[in-house]
Structure 1
């Protein structure tokens, strides 16, 4: 009912106004709409001349966050000036004043919100001058955190325009506040999870990680979640409360990459051939430029079910997957060359069937031997 009454008051007040006041107000609104683009461009160009004199390019990029909020503020001021030319009732003036103040505050916080996108650039520039380094994950965390703070402060500030006793209203929420706290427990868990990740630092932006639920490259970490790009190029969003509790394997932190397998030789291979084969493989690995010299094993390990087993165990210097595959292929080809030169064949799984002939030829005894 109060809204209907306000509309009736507005219409009644509008009819009491002089025609000239309404015409001038409409003229101001039309002028504001027509000159908005020109005024905004002039103001932006003026600011560019000022920022062009500085050594850093950060303020030049920051201007892009100002353009739309400035245009909005210019429109708000135009409409406010037009409304001030008309003698509205005190109640309606109060409503129009609150609307104007709310929109101006919205534009201000919009500028601050847009400026946070350049916070990472500013941090890197400042720390480069001090020969320090800020990692991408911390910069992303600060940027997203700043956006949340700005949204909360903006909402509270605009609410203060409409509710003079905002603190009293918040205090008087009672059970509603408790219900809100219970509903926000997951958000709080994600917030503390993000803090835990920032302290422990199990990964950084760009790292290749593996968890029980996802494997891929970390793209972004925010207050609520972490985004991981899988190798299928899908983007997976994981709550930080889950990420902080799951075991995380960070493959990007490998200093070297392991290769291990058992080479099985045919049982027809002689002991001399086996010994020379092991020695040549070991020598080849030690002389290979892409094999890490710290741990190299090549030994005749034992007699397997299908052949003589040689353990091959070593690490590559590179951890990049494609380079790793190239090194592995090169070593496998060199081992094949050694086997060909020594006339050694690789054992394959086989079974031998022995048939024992007896006096009763109709019922032979069959022995299955591996």
Structure 2
């Protein structure tokens, strides 16, 4: 076909009359002039209009180059329609020019739709709740489909065949397309599930240890999800990996407005004992413990009067306050009155199973902020106080002996005279 076209162009070049060449040159010149006029004046006018208007959506349309690309269609239409008016133009050459121009028009149309989709996405991002339903992956899929069809129509135009001729044979190459676009198709399915099930949003804090991701989601696209870690590095995760690997989303914490503190104090088991009466009276002076001690002592006295019987001096027959139980009550009251604890969320102090490192006394409370620095400061403030007040209850924190402890012990046991 192309050999026949070249022969036709050669024959037309030798047989063509001067007015035909002149007419074709004039047509090209007029099309070029229209193109230059649009590039220099019309587009410049659009930019000046953008500077004078405060419309955000218009600025996004200009930024996506939608009108610029659409106006490129004008010289092509001028050329496509003007070929018929060139006198004496060879039919084969005229057909080639029209098919080539039509192919360019298809390409420009695809680029216009590309810019339109980009503008739609940018305008959608201006909406207050756009992060809840990101559509970037759908926009990218739409662009991919547009360019695939544009490629088919361009090939059909240049070869002077019907597009259905190529579309009918697309099933034969489906296996190759599936192989080439395997990750894209998997990512499309993953993206649909992530968005429809609202699993991740832009701005969510996620953890995905398999990829070393621990930070905020900054972008969700068709093929990748970008996470900015807290050390300001960027982790790029293929979208379809979110269906294969588990991840943690901290959005619930942010929406609740409180972040959990779950840390244990390891109490030395040898320091747990009953309080004597003098210690109880001293602890009763604390406004955090007065109500607890009064109520507890009333229950204890009533129980002891009923159950002590003939052995009032036997401690195992009676009930009494322990330093650990009183300390737990103190911690609860302290947390309830702490100005940075979130009172409406779960708050408790519980004993865990004793280990060779002592008795873990776990503090479980939520702060009224999710800001990392503030959360760490509140947590440190709470445990600073608890560690400092612990000796007032006769309790000790368990700590494994260090080298300095062994050296001190060695000096105490070695009492030999030194000369």
Category of TM-score, reference length = shorter chain: 0.7 to 0.9
Asked whether the equivalents of residues 19 and 87 of structure 2 are also in contact (C-alpha less than 8 Å), the reply is no
Mapped pair 1:315 → 2:316: no
What is the aligned length? Answer: 348
The two structures have a TM-score, normalised by structure 1, of 0.74
Q: Which runs of 5+ in 2 are unaligned?
A: 276-322, 411-419
Question: Helix, strand or coil for the counterpart of 2:200?
Answer: coil
Please report the RMSD computed on the Cα atoms of aligned residues, expressed in angstroms: 4.1
Deviations 1:179-234 (A, max 9, x none): 44555555433333322223322111221122352323323333444333334422
Mapped pair 1:154 → 2:155: no
Instruction: Please report how far the alpha carbon of residue 70 of structure 1 lies from its aligned counterpart in structure 2 after TM superposition.
Output: 4.4
Aligned mate of 1:284, from 318, 334, 338? 334
Instruction: Please report how far the alpha carbon of residue 37 of structure 1 lies from its aligned counterpart in structure 2 after TM superposition.
Output: 4.1
Mapped pair 1:236 → 2:286: no
Question: Helix, strand or coil for the counterpart of 2:398?
Answer: coil
Deviations 1:55-105 (A, max 9, x none): 965345424423442464355456655896474432222111111011112
The two structures have a TM-score, normalised by structure 2, of 0.67
Mapped pair 1:209 → 2:206: yes
**4+ runs of 1 displaced by more than 6 Å?**
45-52, 340-344, 351-355
Rg larger in structure: 2
Asked whether the equivalents of residues 341 and 368 of structure 2 are also in contact (C-alpha less than 8 Å), the reply is yes
Question: Helix, strand or coil for the counterpart of 2:135?
Answer: helix
Residues 104-253 of structure 1: pairs in structure 2 closer than 5 A? 104-123=105-124, 133-162=129-158, 163-172=160-169, 175-181=172-178, 184-214=181-211, 215=213, 216-232=215-231, 233-240=233-240, 242-253=241-252
As a proportion of its length, which structure holds more strand?
A: 1
Distance 2:45 2:269 in 1: 87
Distance 1:270 1:63 in 2: 74
Q: Which runs of 5+ in 1 are unaligned?
A: 356-370
Query: What is aligned with 1:66?
Result: 66
Question: Helix, strand or coil for the counterpart of 1:292?
Answer: coil
Structure 1 residues 306 and 253: CA distance shift in structure 2, 3 A: closer
Distance 1:76 1:33 in 2: 10
Question: Helix, strand or coil for the counterpart of 2:261?
Answer: strand
Distance 1:183 1:25 in 2: 44
